Structure 1
């Protein structure tokens, strides 16, 4: 997968609609600032407000998942740039989105922690394997299929098979960008740049996986229906039956011709 192409597409989207991305991510920025303030107050006043910091941080993570859903739609060309404030809370637009995201965050967090008990590296590798589970779960919901958390995790592992190093390098390529936010660039441009690039990565990965498998769930924005295989079979059956039905009419003249010839030959005799 071309890393420069993924980043270039993200830059084009952000540069063309920067105001939209700024407002879209505004609630996330506010919650991040609130988390920092809570932690600072805890350090200065020696007050135990860590639990509030964790709650706010978790809420900001939920919002970011919903924002990524929006960016995935934009990458697929099925989204629009209207009502960015409303789109910021996409995660709350559906109970299945909300519960599913929380459930998958908890399950993947537990599994990653258990792998990390062995060594840090296996835990990191598994976190890469589980990284697409939430987006897969959401795609299935949007296509009218509800799968379990473990099924989404399994499909994420399968999707990331052979791509974990690629995912790691793509993530690593943003380190200098985030470090530069301290002294040069504002986070208001780098954060959407990173998130949109990762959304583009999932879109490319999901599209490639669909070409390699017989998964009935289509990528959002494609024309193919969920039961494409069933429809194609029915079309084939109907076309076959129609062709069979037409055979008598096409063979009738052929059968008639020999009869005429035999009659003429008998007359000549």
Structure 2
């Protein structure tokens, strides 16, 4: 059973009094990504020959930020007490290589499926949406294997995941009205909610036999 209301309520409870580190993580991620996208836009408009390489670097950086954020929010969803700020640097230092590979591989596969029209690309993106949680939790699982495991975990839940993402649209709109400042709180709320969903889907996938406990070792 996919209970998005429960996952979101658990996220609010877990984040209470523990917002500082996830807000710092969100701030760093948003500043880096917006700066990179702005630079990429300028390079594209100027038809710089370096644009393809810069775009690839952005995709890799996004993967690093996603896997690092996933690790931090999994910890928030499963533990009590304050999360040290140093955990951000520790996560990036530990996961940056696999995160970069994961970001590039995900972008490649979503792009390929998008060539068949937009909807297949969106479906595949949702299908692979758990790969960064998997890599964050399991240091011996590479990007390609994490994608296959994510596909198994999301079997039967792709619509649930999409509806959960859509349930944040109101908060996204309100955050835009605050000139983006609201995203500093919204991003941790969303990430922790999806971390809760990941944990539930992982248990279900093991119980149903779609994945084995050994797959996560």
> Is TM-score (shorter-chain normalized) higher than 0.5?
yes
Residue pair 2:68, 2:136 contacting (<8 A) in 1 also: no
Residue pair 1:10, 1:200 contacting (<8 A) in 2 also: yes
Q: Decide whether aligned partners of structure 1 residues 140 and 21 sit closer, same or farther in structure 2, where only a CA change above 3 A counts.
A: closer
Aligned partner of 1:190 in structure 2 is: 186
**C-alpha separation in 2, matches of 1:168 and 1:147:** 25
Equivalent residue for 2:72, pick from 70, 73, 83: 70
Aligned partner of 1:181 in structure 2 is: 175
Name structure 2 gaps, 5 residues minimum.
Answer: none
Partner SS state of residue 156, structure 2: coil
Measured after TM superposition, the shift of residue 131 of structure 1 is: 1.2
Measured after TM superposition, the shift of residue 180 of structure 1 is: 1.0
**C-alpha separation in 1, matches of 2:127 and 2:149:** 9
**C-alpha separation in 2, matches of 1:53 and 1:180:** 32
**C-alpha separation in 2, matches of 1:155 and 1:113:** 20
1:45-64 deviation digits (Å, cap 9, x = unpaired): 96959679744575355223
How many residues align structurally?
210
**C-alpha separation in 1, matches of 2:174 and 2:189:** 13
Q: Decide whether aligned partners of structure 1 residues 216 and 61 sit closer, same or farther in structure 2, where only a CA change above 3 A counts.
A: closer
2:200 corresponds to 1:215: no
Equivalent residue for 1:206, pick from 181, 195, 202: 202
Residue pair 1:63, 1:90 contacting (<8 A) in 2 also: no
Aligned partner of 1:8 in structure 2 is: 9
1:99-142 deviation digits (Å, cap 9, x = unpaired): 2222222222212211111121111111111111232234332x
Measured after TM superposition, the shift of residue 161 of structure 1 is: 0.5
Name structure 1 gaps, 5 residues minimum.
Answer: 220-225, 227-269
TM-score, normalised via structure 2 length: 0.80
Residue pair 2:63, 2:100 contacting (<8 A) in 1 also: no
Measured after TM superposition, the shift of residue 157 of structure 1 is: 0.9
2:105 corresponds to 1:107: yes
Residue pair 1:62, 1:91 contacting (<8 A) in 2 also: no
**C-alpha separation in 1, matches of 2:109 and 2:37:** 28
1:194-229 deviation digits (Å, cap 9, x = unpaired): 11111111111112222333713387xxxxxx7xxx
Partner SS state of residue 176, structure 2: coil
1:156-179 deviation digits (Å, cap 9, x = unpaired): 111111000000001111112111
Partner SS state of residue 214, structure 2: coil
Q: Which runs of 4+ in 1 moved over 6 A?
A: none
2:169 corresponds to 1:167: no
Instruction: Give runs of aligned pairs for residues 11-160 of structure 1, distance below 5 A.
Output: 11-35=12-36, 38=39, 42=42, 54=55, 55=57, 58-77=60-79, 80-84=81-85, 86-94=86-94, 97-141=95-139, 146-160=140-154
Residue pair 2:63, 2:103 contacting (<8 A) in 1 also: no
Which of 1 and 2 has higher RCO (CA within 8 Å, sep 6+)? 2
RMSD: 3.0
Residue pair 1:76, 1:203 contacting (<8 A) in 2 also: no
Q: Decide whether aligned partners of structure 1 residues 26 and 87 sit closer, same or farther in structure 2, where only a CA change above 3 A counts.
A: farther
